[in-house]
Chain A
């Protein structure tokens, strides 16, 4: 099984896209009812000052149906998932959840996945974890690994073929 199946970097995943579309439409409907653009979400947003993310504007754009523009915007990838916008919204709108759905949609539409996500996914597929055991250094520059510190063996999937078969179902699933 390849990473392409799961992330559709090669071909758009139409079933997944359909499902995400339904989710976003549902969010859009709910938002139209509730969000009154008070911008409380943006005032506490961790990514606002540094990366110019304005969650209330994301909500407004979704409300106006500008889905394609949002899915293709780099700014959706600046969210730090601090969840403050979800916690503090007086109307129980959760901009962070909209952002997750938009990013998932970008990936399902075949847009390139930014940064190290692909490498992490590949690692999960092969060993079940985002990375294998690393060598670390002490403050006095000695190098150490897990076993040298007397720690027990790493917990990870024992039957990798079966583990992959489970994940494969996500890629293959018809909704």
Chain B
């Protein structure tokens, strides 16, 4: 059965984290997922939560309303966007007064929120909707011998009460997907530590220190690399790795890849199509088939 979703890109992935988007667009259609590009989406609002929570709620609601207008469920690859949209839907469903108030504002754009959408992230889409069996069937080049750690990102794990893609204290879905690809997921005590990204706006030094500390721990445990599933986490661990190293006075060289990039490599897609050139961390060390 074909699954159809509006691809909700958010802000960060489509404006700079191109490798995530490229690898998503290369891999998911092979697994029977139809991604629909919808015009008119905006920021999910989550980055503004510290400034004005009503603005966050409003922006999320307008995006939900746009998906509703197209009768589409939503695939949201960013952990922050996924939290914002899920939380907003939770609030609007539980609080009729707030729903009315938000709908009053949405009228300015001829939008209205009336019904729930199914909102998935990369991890639950792959693990729960598509399933491990189907992923296995598509593996052409198993990632044999690749010992790699998973970083989930806080926002896809908590708060559990509104429903998140994986367990808040012991998430295992990325590991299960990695095993399906033939890789060997590695446990490390810092698995649930934050990437630091939410502080990037006002305390960038501290944000990068957080990133540096986690990467340093991974490096010291001689784990081959790190897999992530959020453009914010990836911006910290991969794009800013050198800077993060400076904050903890360490020369960091931990290869960091998006889960969808590994998926693509295992499916036999060229590393160029998966945007592997765009990873700034030393991914060549992973010796992924054809990686330059």
Mark the stretch among B13-21, B171-179, B262-270 that contacts chain A. B13-21
The answer, yes or no, to whether B1 is at the interface (CB within 8 Å) is no
Least CB distance, B234 to chain A, in whole angstroms = 12
* Of the residues A157, A166, A168, A170, contact of B52 by C-beta under 8 Å: A170
Q: How many residues of B contact A (CB 8 A)?
A: 64
A121 near B48: Cβ-Cβ < 8 Å: yes
* Of the residues B43, B58, B168, B210, contact of A129 by C-beta under 8 Å: B43
Mark the stretch among B119-127, B138-146, B153-161, B219-227 that contacts chain A. B153-161
CA distance A131 to B202 in the complex (A): 16
Mark the stretch among B88-96, B129-137, B191-199 that contacts chain A. B191-199
Contacts of A116 in B (CB 8 A): 200-202
B210 near A154: Cβ-Cβ < 8 Å: no
B210 near A104: Cβ-Cβ < 8 Å: no
The answer, yes or no, to whether B165 is at the interface (CB within 8 Å) is no
B158 near A86: Cβ-Cβ < 8 Å: yes
* Of the residues B49, B55, B109, B110, contact of A81 by C-beta under 8 Å: B49
Known: A77-B202, A124-B42, A169-B105. A107 touches B154 (CB 8 A): no
Chain A residue at minimal CB-CB distance from B192? A84
A131 near B15: Cβ-Cβ < 8 Å: yes
CA distance A133 to B16 in the complex (A): 7
Least CB distance, B238 to chain A, in whole angstroms = 10
Chain A residue at minimal CB-CB distance from B277? A138
* Of the residues A82, A136, A159, contact of B278 by C-beta under 8 Å: A136
CA distance A16 to B21 in the complex (A): 38
Number of residue pairs A-B, CB distance < 8 angstroms: 185
CA distance A135 to B34 in the complex (A): 28
B18 near A128: Cβ-Cβ < 8 Å: no
**Most B Cβ at <10 Å: residue of A84, A108, A146:** A84
A78 near B203: Cβ-Cβ < 8 Å: yes
CA distance A124 to B275 in the complex (A): 27
A62-85 interface bits toward B, Cβ cutoff 8 Å, 1 = contact, 0 = none: 000000000000000111111110
B109 near A166: Cβ-Cβ < 8 Å: yes
Known: A51-B206, A84-B158, A166-B106. A146 touches B14 (CB 8 A): yes
Contacts of B283 in A (CB 8 A): 139
Least CB distance, B24 to chain A, in whole angstroms = 10
Q: A100-B49, A155-B41, A156-B42 are in contact. List 6 more A-B contacts (CB 8 A).
A: A46-B154, A87-B158, A128-B41, A139-B277, A162-B108, A170-B54
6 residue pairs from A and B, CB less than 8 Å apart: A121-B48, A129-B43, A139-B279, A151-B21, A166-B62, A170-B58
B interface with A by C-beta (< 8 Å) = 9, 11-12, 14-16, 18, 21-22, 25, 37-43, 47-55, 58-59, 62, 104-106, 108-110, 154-155, 157-160, 168-169, 192-194, 196, 198-204, 206, 209-210, 275, 277-280, 283-284
A interface with B by C-beta (< 8 Å) = 6-7, 16, 46-47, 50-51, 77-84, 86-87, 94, 100-101, 103-104, 107-108, 113-117, 120-121, 124, 128-134, 136-140, 142, 144, 146, 149, 151-152, 154-159, 162-163, 165-170, 173
